[in-house]
């Protein structure tokens, strides 16, 4: 099994390639990973085109939800998008914040940052900026953001607890997040769990839904609400690369499943101590 550092480098290289692909290529596979399917349709991504602020050039088809639709963004808010890609969620958030707000996109892939900056400059968006950085160590001061959004990104990060700690640090007291991500219910077969390519494709990096929600609690968030959950249908011609015939049958019969989850939570206006998972204090 690759180390955390190796997994992050796999993801970095894969998403540098994805930045140069078109949307049709990305949406015919798992998060643009290149696990090609002859059943060409969007495996995870949802249709953004009806949302105000949508820009087709910034939509690479890499998401698994519509977190900005559920994020309760207000005029004048400062919004941060984790794993901002070519800028799609940032530009929708900008429409909600208006000219008086600010949007910051963070991505650790240089090619994505360059593409997003080009998209913002072409549209004259002077209150949207993109910063190169790791979301486990955000290049943002503490207590800075009113809202944080993210779309199908935390599943790519080996240490999700550190990301939630960073989200807590960066949000203002009383601020909140809305995050769409990939989670698992039931036991994921080793074929999917161990394959590095499927990690970059969002599946093998996903964790159990209950564990995901426990991490949010453990890092001090309240008012946790599952805003949307839907099953992700992976075509057989992708599954057969990683699973046996019996495992595919079990997947289809619902013994285990992969889901898109959109979850909302608030940072309390009054700080409380947080604890490490498993420390016996949660």
pLDDT digits (tens, 9 = 90+) for 111-161: 999 999 999 999 999 999 999 999 999 999 999 999 999 998 898 888 999
Q: What residues does 107 pair with on adjacent strands?
A: 132
pLDDT digits (tens, 9 = 90+) for 83-92: 998 899 999 9
pLDDT at 205: 72
pLDDT digits (tens, 9 = 90+) for 169-223: 999 999 999 999 988 888 767 766 665 445 445 555 778 899 999 999 999 999 9
C-alpha span between 232 and 63 (Å, rounded): 12
pLDDT at 58: 63
Q: Average of pLDDT values for 21-44?
A: 45
CATH superfamily ID and name for 4-265: Vaccinia Virus protein VP39 (3.40.50.150)
pLDDT at 248: 82
Beta carbons within 8 Å of 251's beta carbon, 6+ residues apart = 234, 239, 243, 257
pLDDT at 250: 79
C-alpha span between 100 and 87 (Å, rounded): 19
Lowest pLDDT segment from 10-19, 143-152, 264-273: 10-19
Longest dimension (CA), the chain: 56
Q: Average of pLDDT values for 22-37?
A: 46
Domain boundaries of the chain, sorted by first residue: 4-265
C-alpha span between 222 and 192 (Å, rounded): 32
């Amino acid at each position: 099994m690759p180390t955390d550092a190796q997994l992050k480098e796999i993801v970095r290289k894969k998403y540098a390639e994805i930045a140069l692909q078109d949307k049709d290529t990305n949406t015919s596979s798992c998060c643009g990973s290149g696990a090609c399917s002859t059943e060409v349709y969007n495996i995870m991504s949802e249709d953004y085109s009806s949302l105000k602020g949508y820009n087709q050039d910034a939509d690479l088809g890499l998401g698994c939800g519509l977190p900005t639709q559920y994020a309760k963004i207000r005029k004048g808010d400062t919004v941060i998008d984790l794993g901002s890609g070519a800028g799609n969620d940032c530009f929708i958030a900008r429409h909600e914040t208006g000219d008086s707000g600010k949007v910051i996109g963070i991505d650790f892939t240089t090619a994505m940052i360059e593409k997003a900056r080009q998209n913002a400059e072409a549209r004259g968006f002077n209150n949207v900026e993109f910063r190169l950085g790791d979301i486990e160590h955000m290049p943002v001061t503490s207590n800075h953001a009113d809202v944080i959004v993210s779309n199908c990104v935390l599943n790519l990060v080996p240490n999700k607890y550190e990301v939630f700690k960073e989200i807590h640090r960066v949000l203002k007291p009383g601020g909140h997040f809305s995050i769409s991500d990939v989670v698992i219910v039931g036991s994921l077969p080793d074929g999917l769990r161990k394959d590095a390519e499927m990690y970059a494709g969002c599946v093998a990096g996903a964790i159990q839904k209950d564990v995901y929600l426990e991490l949010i609690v453990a890092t001090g968030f309240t008012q946790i609400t599952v805003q949307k959950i839907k099953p992700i249908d992976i075509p057989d011609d992708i599954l057969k690369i990683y699973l046996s015939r019996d495992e595919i049958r079990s997947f289809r019969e619902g013994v285990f499943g992969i889901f898109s989850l959109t979850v909302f939570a608030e940072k309390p206006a009054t700080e409380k101590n947080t604890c490490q998972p498993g420390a016996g204090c949660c």
